[in-house]
Amino acid sequence: MDILLKYFDDFTDTQLKKWELLFPTYSEWNAQINVISRKDIDSLYLKHVLHSLTIAAVADFQPGTNIVDIGCGGGFPGVPLAIFYPEVDFLLVDSIGKKLKVVEGVVEATGIKNIRTKHARIEEIKGQKFDYAVSRAVAPLADLWRWAKPILKKGHTQEMANGLICLKGGDLAQEISDSRLRPNKVDVYDIFPEEYFQEKYLLHVPA
Protein backbone atom coordinates (compact mmCIF):
# COMPACT_ATOMS: atom_id res chain seq x y z
CA MET A 1 0.00 0.00 0.00
CA ASP A 2 3.01 2.29 0.38
CA ILE A 3 2.98 2.90 -3.36
CA LEU A 4 -0.39 4.69 -3.01
CA LEU A 5 0.92 6.93 -0.26
CA LYS A 6 3.92 7.79 -2.41
CA TYR A 7 1.63 9.62 -4.83
CA PHE A 8 -1.44 10.54 -2.74
CA ASP A 9 -1.26 12.03 0.74
CA ASP A 10 -4.76 13.27 1.52
CA PHE A 11 -6.77 10.10 2.14
CA THR A 12 -9.29 10.08 4.98
CA ASP A 13 -9.07 7.44 7.71
CA THR A 14 -12.09 5.73 6.10
CA GLN A 15 -10.34 5.57 2.75
CA LEU A 16 -7.12 4.30 4.30
CA LYS A 17 -9.02 1.47 5.97
CA LYS A 18 -10.61 0.50 2.67
CA TRP A 19 -7.24 0.55 0.88
CA GLU A 20 -5.78 -1.68 3.59
CA LEU A 21 -8.63 -4.17 3.24
CA LEU A 22 -8.23 -4.55 -0.51
CA PHE A 23 -5.21 -6.86 -0.41
CA PRO A 24 -6.49 -9.47 2.06
CA THR A 25 -9.96 -9.37 0.49
CA TYR A 26 -8.75 -9.79 -3.08
CA SER A 27 -6.27 -12.47 -1.99
CA GLU A 28 -9.06 -14.46 -0.35
CA TRP A 29 -11.44 -14.12 -3.29
CA ASN A 30 -8.72 -14.75 -5.86
CA ALA A 31 -8.00 -18.12 -4.27
CA GLN A 32 -11.60 -19.09 -5.07
CA ILE A 33 -12.20 -17.25 -8.36
CA ASN A 34 -9.12 -16.24 -10.30
CA VAL A 35 -9.64 -12.67 -11.50
CA ILE A 36 -6.04 -11.50 -10.98
CA SER A 37 -3.09 -13.55 -12.21
CA ARG A 38 -1.31 -15.38 -9.39
CA LYS A 39 1.95 -13.54 -10.07
CA ASP A 40 0.21 -10.15 -9.98
CA ILE A 41 -1.70 -10.46 -6.70
CA ASP A 42 1.37 -9.45 -4.68
CA SER A 43 1.62 -6.33 -6.86
CA LEU A 44 -2.07 -5.49 -6.40
CA TYR A 45 -1.49 -1.90 -5.27
CA LEU A 46 0.92 -1.05 -8.09
CA LYS A 47 -0.46 -2.96 -11.07
CA HIS A 48 -4.16 -2.69 -10.34
CA VAL A 49 -4.98 -0.03 -7.75
CA LEU A 50 -2.47 2.69 -8.67
CA HIS A 51 -2.96 1.98 -12.37
CA SER A 52 -6.71 2.52 -11.90
CA LEU A 53 -6.01 5.78 -10.06
CA THR A 54 -4.36 7.19 -13.17
CA ILE A 55 -7.90 8.27 -13.96
CA ALA A 56 -8.18 10.07 -10.61
CA ALA A 57 -4.89 11.85 -11.29
CA VAL A 58 -6.23 13.20 -14.58
CA ALA A 59 -9.94 13.75 -13.90
CA ASP A 60 -11.42 15.55 -10.91
CA PHE A 61 -14.89 14.00 -10.72
CA GLN A 62 -17.42 16.12 -8.87
CA PRO A 63 -19.91 14.75 -6.29
CA GLY A 64 -22.93 13.27 -8.02
CA THR A 65 -21.03 12.28 -11.16
CA ASN A 66 -22.39 9.08 -12.71
CA ILE A 67 -19.82 6.60 -14.11
CA VAL A 68 -20.11 3.20 -15.79
CA ASP A 69 -17.20 0.74 -15.79
CA ILE A 70 -17.34 -1.28 -19.02
CA GLY A 71 -16.21 -4.88 -18.54
CA CYS A 72 -15.09 -4.31 -14.98
CA GLY A 73 -13.63 -7.80 -14.49
CA GLY A 74 -12.52 -8.07 -10.88
CA GLY A 75 -13.34 -4.41 -10.27
CA PHE A 76 -10.70 -2.31 -11.99
CA PRO A 77 -10.71 0.60 -12.41
CA GLY A 78 -14.12 0.93 -10.74
CA VAL A 79 -13.36 -0.26 -7.19
CA PRO A 80 -10.31 1.99 -6.60
CA LEU A 81 -12.11 4.94 -8.18
CA ALA A 82 -15.14 4.39 -5.94
CA ILE A 83 -12.91 4.47 -2.86
CA PHE A 84 -11.15 7.59 -4.14
CA TYR A 85 -14.46 9.30 -4.98
CA PRO A 86 -16.98 8.27 -2.28
CA GLU A 87 -19.56 10.82 -3.53
CA VAL A 88 -19.51 9.61 -7.14
CA ASP A 89 -21.91 6.87 -8.31
CA PHE A 90 -20.45 3.84 -10.11
CA LEU A 91 -22.15 1.08 -12.08
CA LEU A 92 -19.78 -1.86 -12.71
CA VAL A 93 -20.89 -3.97 -15.67
CA ASP A 94 -19.54 -7.33 -16.77
CA SER A 95 -20.93 -10.23 -18.79
CA ILE A 96 -19.20 -12.83 -16.56
CA GLY A 97 -21.15 -13.37 -13.38
CA LYS A 98 -18.35 -14.92 -11.31
CA LYS A 99 -16.24 -11.78 -11.76
CA LEU A 100 -19.08 -9.67 -10.38
CA LYS A 101 -19.33 -12.07 -7.45
CA VAL A 102 -15.76 -11.08 -6.57
CA VAL A 103 -16.58 -7.38 -6.97
CA GLU A 104 -19.63 -7.72 -4.74
CA GLY A 105 -17.57 -9.59 -2.13
CA VAL A 106 -14.94 -6.84 -2.13
CA VAL A 107 -17.58 -4.12 -1.94
CA GLU A 108 -19.22 -5.81 1.05
CA ALA A 109 -15.96 -6.53 2.88
CA THR A 110 -14.62 -2.99 2.47
CA GLY A 111 -17.91 -1.18 3.07
CA ILE A 112 -17.97 0.64 -0.27
CA LYS A 113 -21.38 2.31 -0.58
CA ASN A 114 -21.27 3.91 -4.04
CA ILE A 115 -21.01 0.86 -6.32
CA ARG A 116 -23.81 -0.99 -8.07
CA THR A 117 -23.15 -4.03 -10.26
CA LYS A 118 -24.96 -5.37 -13.30
CA HIS A 119 -24.48 -8.76 -14.93
CA ALA A 120 -24.91 -7.85 -18.59
CA ARG A 121 -23.16 -6.97 -21.79
CA ILE A 122 -22.65 -3.24 -22.01
CA GLU A 123 -24.80 -3.13 -25.16
CA GLU A 124 -27.75 -4.26 -23.02
CA ILE A 125 -27.65 -1.16 -20.82
CA LYS A 126 -30.70 0.85 -21.86
CA GLY A 127 -32.48 3.89 -20.49
CA GLN A 128 -29.51 5.19 -18.51
CA LYS A 129 -27.04 7.94 -19.29
CA PHE A 130 -23.63 8.44 -17.71
CA ASP A 131 -21.21 11.34 -17.45
CA TYR A 132 -18.27 9.04 -18.11
CA ALA A 133 -17.52 5.48 -19.16
CA VAL A 134 -14.26 3.99 -17.88
CA SER A 135 -12.50 0.83 -18.92
CA ARG A 136 -9.20 -0.99 -18.59
CA ALA A 137 -7.81 -3.18 -21.37
CA VAL A 138 -11.19 -4.67 -22.29
CA ALA A 139 -11.54 -4.20 -26.04
CA PRO A 140 -10.23 -2.14 -28.96
CA LEU A 141 -10.94 1.59 -28.78
CA ALA A 142 -13.40 1.44 -31.70
CA ASP A 143 -15.53 -1.12 -29.86
CA LEU A 144 -15.36 0.72 -26.56
CA TRP A 145 -16.54 3.90 -28.25
CA ARG A 146 -19.35 2.10 -30.10
CA TRP A 147 -20.60 0.73 -26.78
CA ALA A 148 -20.09 3.90 -24.75
CA LYS A 149 -21.34 6.58 -27.11
CA PRO A 150 -25.10 5.77 -26.85
CA ILE A 151 -25.07 5.85 -23.02
CA LEU A 152 -22.96 8.97 -22.51
CA LYS A 153 -24.36 12.39 -21.72
CA LYS A 154 -22.94 14.99 -24.04
CA GLY A 155 -21.43 18.10 -22.54
CA HIS A 156 -18.70 19.57 -20.45
CA THR A 157 -20.16 19.67 -16.94
CA GLN A 158 -16.75 19.62 -15.23
CA GLU A 159 -13.09 20.12 -15.97
CA MET A 160 -12.77 17.04 -18.19
CA ALA A 161 -15.43 16.77 -20.89
CA ASN A 162 -17.94 13.95 -20.53
CA GLY A 163 -16.80 10.89 -22.44
CA LEU A 164 -14.90 7.63 -22.52
CA ILE A 165 -11.75 7.23 -20.39
CA CYS A 166 -9.78 4.04 -20.93
CA LEU A 167 -6.46 2.61 -19.81
CA LYS A 168 -4.40 0.82 -22.45
CA GLY A 169 -0.87 -0.35 -23.10
CA GLY A 170 1.59 -0.86 -25.92
CA ASP A 171 1.77 0.71 -29.36
CA LEU A 172 -1.69 2.19 -29.90
CA ALA A 173 -1.08 3.86 -33.27
CA GLN A 174 -2.94 1.27 -35.36
CA GLU A 175 -5.77 0.89 -32.84
CA ILE A 176 -6.33 4.65 -32.72
CA SER A 177 -6.14 4.87 -36.52
CA ASP A 178 -8.68 2.06 -36.92
CA SER A 179 -11.06 3.80 -34.52
CA ARG A 180 -11.08 7.01 -36.61
CA LEU A 181 -11.13 8.88 -33.31
CA ARG A 182 -8.76 11.55 -32.02
CA PRO A 183 -8.51 10.75 -28.31
CA ASN A 184 -6.56 12.82 -25.85
CA LYS A 185 -3.60 10.63 -24.86
CA VAL A 186 -1.77 10.77 -21.52
CA ASP A 187 1.37 8.78 -20.74
CA VAL A 188 0.86 7.03 -17.37
CA TYR A 189 4.62 7.03 -16.79
CA ASP A 190 4.54 10.84 -16.76
CA ILE A 191 2.14 10.70 -13.80
CA PHE A 192 3.55 7.70 -11.94
CA PRO A 193 7.21 7.23 -12.99
CA GLU A 194 7.38 3.54 -12.11
CA GLU A 195 8.95 1.06 -14.53
CA TYR A 196 5.70 -0.91 -14.76
CA PHE A 197 3.90 2.06 -16.34
CA GLN A 198 6.21 2.45 -19.32
CA GLU A 199 4.15 2.21 -22.51
CA LYS A 200 0.88 2.50 -20.62
CA TYR A 201 -1.57 5.23 -21.56
CA LEU A 202 -4.84 6.89 -20.68
CA LEU A 203 -7.12 7.78 -23.60
CA HIS A 204 -10.01 10.23 -23.32
CA VAL A 205 -12.63 10.53 -26.05
CA PRO A 206 -15.04 13.43 -25.42
CA ALA A 207 -18.71 12.61 -25.91
Query: Which 8-state DSSP code applies to residue 180?
Result: T
* Pairing of the two strands 132-136 and 184-187: unpaired
Q: What angle do CA 51, 57, 63 make, to 5 degrees?
A: 115
CA 178 from centroid of its chain's CA atoms: 23
Asked whether residue 169 is marked as a ligand-binding residue, the answer is no
Q: Is 20 annotated as a binding residue?
A: no
Q: Is 70 annotated as a binding residue?
A: no
User: Is 123 marked as a binding-site residue?
Assistant: yes
Query: Would you say 136 is a known binding-site residue?
Result: yes
Express the helix, strand and coil content of the chain in percent, nearest 5 each.
45, 20, 35
CA distances from 40 to 23, 124, 188 (A): 11, 31, 19
Residue 35 phi/psi, 5-degree rounding, is: -110, -10
Cα separations in angstroms, 161 against 4, 26, 143: 26, 33, 20
**Residues annotated in the binding site for S-adenosyl-L-methionine, as ranges?**
71, 76, 122-123, 136
**Residues annotated in the binding site, as ranges?**
71, 76, 122-123, 136
